[in-house]
Amino acid sequence: MARGEPVNPSPEVAARLRCMAAIVSREVSRFIGQRARLMASIVRPLLWLAIFAAGFRATVGLTNVPPYPAAVAYEVYIVPGLVAMIQLFNGLQSSLSLVYDREMGTMKILLISPHPRWFLLACKLVAGTVVSILLVLVFLLAARLWAIEPPPLGYLLVLPVLLVCGLTFGALGLALSVVVSRIENFAGVMNFVIFPIFFASSALYPLAKIAESSTALHRICASNPFTHAVEAIRFALYGRIDGESLAVLLAFMAVFFAIAVWGYSPDRPLFNARRG
Amino acid sequence: MNEKRAPRINPALLVEGLGHAYGGHPSLDDIGFVVQPGGFTALLGLNGAGKTTLISCLIRLAGPWRGRVRICGVDPIVWPARAMAKIGVVFQEPTLDLDMTMAQNLGHHAALHGLSRAFAKARVEADLVSHGLARYADRKVRDLSFGIRRRAEVARALLHRPSLVMMDEATAGLDVPSRRALGNNLRRMCRHDGLAVLWATHAVDEVHVSHRLVVLHEGRQLATGKVGDVIKRTGRGSLRAAFSALTS
């Protein structure tokens, strides 16, 4: 058979799906293989729940905000924020691995495969999101030990919301990996990005409480996409859809992804060689 | 006039007037050559000559560049996916996933190229046998020697049956018999399968008299043509002397 002829003719859609399945499966098995990262991803939010929330319960007291039908314990309030934190951490960590792959050269194999660049980036995004949803499900299961038991419908309704949040934070990570070219810088940027985003949100305290302290800070928190993720997750877990938050997240995702596609386009000097 | 016209065969690689700049400095200037199907072209240049940059431009990892490039007649700017499906690449640096087995690495590559799982499995098994790598199939790449990894990278680059394979200093770190075997194997594939090879190297002794040659130096193309013609044009007695004269 002559070279260059299609040896395994298959429709383009099937080829694309196989490519995506391979990238997702690689990301999941790589994550499972990285036991320290796996443990850290689950233990970190559990520590917040077991220690931080227990300590803060006495200070903050019962919280009565939508969508909860009545005042809830602080542990219940904080769970959506911790779920979003898992996804934020994972989104940025997936992009960290992208920077690593870029430095190590393995990413070249991905980028020279016969698919559009935007599609390959979308595959990486989906792969990271799948991992983050698996982590969240493990966390929500563990949270039942602390009597965090949303209604069964909530577990179902939260899945599409987790998809949107995972894609948004993954896209943020992708966009950052365009700006930050070296892996040692990326770790610093992660801390610089994650903690302000996390603290300036409704993850740890209701926006109304923040407004009592500072109007300016309230404005910042209210416009933070992380706040929208936390609220979308909170509403979904209790059987309601927060359409406005989802719309904001989708808009942010589109912007971050557009930056990533621009940054990884062949006309950008991400891979410009400096050797022979 | 009833003559039958021979079907027009596109060159495996056509490069015309290719130029590229990096950080405001020109890194490639007016590069032009052709690699025909079944042809073996050596891209010879010292370190920093622009070989890796040229290959990176051709496979869309570096840009923007100016000029005209066709891969088997396909414009890689207009039809990037079609063009990339026809190319196999062995990079200068290792690009295997160390935490996967050799067979998994090849299977992953096959999936990226859209081959079905069953088809890919059979193809990977057959190719590992033909490259003499079958006994390493289930070993983690991390546990394998550099030479074996490199051979696996060559097998991977050829797995999807490209029309053109680009080797960027592919023999770096290989011992002499392995280098010779790799070169001989590719030349055999050129003759029998019509594979086209672009072989970037800084080592004059890797250039065979049967090759076509492109000499790069500081981003400029100093010579192109058959090896014997390049030697003749410089008035020297050997390729080493000719290369030395061109690049000094």
- b vs e for A177-204, b when ≥16 Cβ sit within 10 Å of the residue's Cβ? bbebeebeebeebbeebbeebbebbbbb
Q: Which of A53-57, A118-122, B140-144 has the lowest mean pLDDT?
A: A53-57
Q: Which of A178-192, A195-209, B182-196, B206-220 has the lowest mean pLDDT?
A: A178-192
Indicate the residue of B60, B114, B161 with minimum beta-carbon distance to A10: B114
Q: Is A42 helix (H, G, I), strand (E, B) or coil?
A: helix
CA distance A94 to B57: 27
Q: Which two tokens stand for residue A120?
A: 């390959």
Residue of B nearest to A3 (CA): B163
Cross-chain Cβ contact B114/A14 below 8 Å = yes
Q: What is the mean pLDDT of chain B?
A: 91
pLDDT at A3 over 60: no
Any bridge partners for residue B164, and if so which? B87, B196
Cross-chain Cβ contact B49/A19 below 8 Å = no
Q: Which residue has the higher pLDDT, B126 or A66?
A: B126
Query: Considering only CA atoms, which of A115, A42, A45 is closest in space to residue A75?
Result: A45
Cross-chain Cβ contact B48/A276 below 8 Å = yes
Give the pLDDT confidence of A163-219 residue by residue, as tens digits: 999 999 999 999 988 887 666 676 677 778 888 999 999 988 888 888 888 899 999
Residue of A nearest to B66 (CA): A267
Q: Which residue has the higher pLDDT, B171 or A168?
A: A168
Indicate the residue of A19, A104, A268 with minimum beta-carbon distance to B114: A19
pLDDT at A20 over 90: yes
Residues B8, B56 contacting (CB under 8 angstroms): no
**Region at A221 (left for phi over 0; alpha for psi -120 to 50; beta for the rest):** alpha
Question: Which pLDDT belongs to residue A270?
Answer: 60
Q: Which helix (H) or strand (E) holds B31?
A: strand B25-35
List the single best residue of A13, A112, A265 to mutate versus B (max B Cβ within 10 A).
Answer: A112
Angle between helices A117-143 and A152-179 (to 10 degrees): 140
Residue of B nearest to A110 (CA): B112
CA distance A125 to B4: 53
Q: DSSP class of residue A272?
A: -
pLDDT at A2 over 70: no
ipTM field: 0.86
Give the pLDDT confidence of B62-84 residue by residue, as tens digits: 878 899 999 999 999 899 889 99
Residue of A nearest to B203 (CA): A276
Alpha helix ranges (H) inside chain A: 12-33, 35-47, 53-60, 74-104, 106-111, 117-143, 152-179, 183-199, 207-213, 215-223, 225-237, 243-263
pLDDT at B127 over 90: yes
Task: For residue B90, report the phi and psi dihedrals to the nearest 5 degrees.
Answer: -115, 115
CA of A264: how far to CAs of A19, A116, B28, B62, in Å?
Answer: 18, 11, 22, 10
Question: Which pLDDT belongs to residue B54?
Answer: 95
Give B120→chain A minimum CA distance, Å.
9
Q: Where is mean pLDDT largest: A70-74, A211-215, B103-107, B169-173?
A: B103-107
